[in-house]
Amino acid sequence: EVQLVESGGDTVEAGGSLKLSCLVSGYTTEHYCVGWFRQAPGQEREGVGSIYIHTGGSMSYDPDSYSVKGRFTVSRDYRLNTVYLQMTSLKPEDSAMYHCAAVERPCAAIQNNYQAFRHWGQGTRVTVSS
């Protein structure tokens, strides 16, 4: 059973940085996409970064369409089976519940479609104070 567990959410001041973690377990394949999404109350779920895990490594999917491009970065630690979301220059509007999700498809094929992701974590809350 594939499981994802997020951690690292906190309250930070505007302009600060925060790094979220997503521990991925249960996969028997080395070809899947892990995406980070956020959702604030009353707002639609929004993709903020993703990374494609494949044999031999990983590849970030970072299209210009992401509103957080240039401030948020997705990376992976192979040994820890963990995907990270590094967030910098945080703004109050970045406050939301952040989720990681996974699906056995290339990130580029899914783009920002959260409905295509099969497995979801419970989320971790980020609050940015002004």
The string of pLDDT tens digits covering residues 14-49 is 999 999 999 999 998 889 999 999 999 999 999 999
Q: What is the pLDDT of residues 57-79, one digit of tens each?
A: 888 887 777 888 889 999 999 89
Contacts 24+ apart (CB under 8 A), 72-78: 72/36, 72/48, 73/49, 74/34, 74/36, 74/49, 74/50, 75/51, 76/34, 76/51
> CA-CA distance, 81 to 19, in Å (whole number)?
16
Q: How confident is the model at residue 56 (pLDDT cuts 50, 70, 90)?
A: confident
Cα(72)–Cα(53) distance, integer angstroms: 18
**Side-chain half-sphere of 60: how many Cα atoms within 13 Å?**
18
Question: What percent of the chain stands above pLDDT 90?
Answer: 79
Single-letter amino acid, residue 89: S
- Output the pLDDT for position 127: 98
Phi, psi for 107 (deg, rounded to 5): -60, -40
pLDDT in the model for residue 117: 96
